[in-house]
Structure 1
Amino acid sequence: MQKKANRIYHISLALYAGLVLSLLAETWWFTPPDNHVWIISLLQLLPLFLPLYGLLKRGIRAASWLCFILCFYFTSGVLDAWLRPEQPHGWFITGFSVSLFITSIMFIRWQAQANREMANA
Structure 2
Amino acid sequence: MNTQKPDPAGLVEADRPQRAVSIRRGSLYLPREMYDLYFAGAQTVALVAREDKILVIPLVPGSAGGLLVKTRNARGDRVVHAQEFFRENGFAEDFQQHVVLAQWSPEAAALVLSNLAKPQGV
Q: TM-score, normalised by structure 2?
A: 0.23
Q: Of the two structures, which has the highest relative contact order with CA contacts closer than 8 Å and spacing of 6 or more?
A: 1
Q: Which has the higher Rg, Structure 1 or Structure 2?
A: 1
| Higher share of residues assigned strand | 2
Q: TM-score, normalised by structure 1?
A: 0.23
